[in-house]
């Protein structure tokens, strides 16, 4: 009766020993992986710090101003060139005869060629069209 009990205890001891050693090597493997990840993290933090320093240098206002002067050929706007919209000159838009096809125009009337269909006595006034549409 004691022999099967000793045999079962021996099997339990062998199984626990194998489990202990396999767990030890698994922990060592995971610690090695953790050290690798920590070194990668330190490398990435250093790279981030270098990129932030480079970004700070590239966005330095004095450097940007010097580059703008060298490459953009910009000049300050004089005070005499600034005006309110109400002071801008208006130009007359001549009206043309009505046509059969109707398309909307900027002044609210319609015609085939995009011009106003009002009579000469109903001439409309509008700002000159100097802004081009950008697509």
Question: What φ, ψ does residue 60 adopt, rounded to 5°?
Answer: -65, 125
Summarised one tens digit per residue, pLDDT across range 83-123 is 888 888 887 777 765 444 445 555 444 445 554 444 444 44
For the chain, give every domain's residue range. 18-74
Summarised one tens digit per residue, pLDDT across range 47-92 is 999 999 999 999 999 999 899 888 888 877 888 888 888 888 887 7
Q: What is the pLDDT of residue 129?
A: 52
Model pTM score? 0.43
Average pLDDT for 16-22: 96
C-alpha span between 12 and 15 (Å, rounded): 5
Token look-up 């069209």 returns: 129
């Amino acid at each position: 009766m004691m022999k099967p009990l000793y045999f079962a205890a021996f099997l339990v001891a062998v199984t626990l020993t194998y489990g202990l050693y396999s767990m030890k090597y698994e922990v060592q493997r995971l610690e090695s992986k953790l050290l690798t990840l920590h070194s990668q993290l330190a490398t990435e933090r250093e790279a981030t710090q270098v990129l932030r320093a480079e970004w700070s240098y590239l966005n330095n206002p004095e450097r940007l101003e010097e580059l703008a002067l060298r490459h953009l050929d910009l000049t300050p706007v004089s005070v005499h060139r600034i005006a309110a919209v109400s002071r801008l000159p208006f130009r007359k838009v001549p009206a043309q005869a009505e046509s059969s096809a109707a398309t909307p125009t900027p002044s609210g009337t319609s015609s085939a060629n995009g011009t106003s269909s009002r009579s000469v006595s109903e001439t409309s006034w509008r700002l000159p069209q100097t802004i081009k549409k950008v697509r």
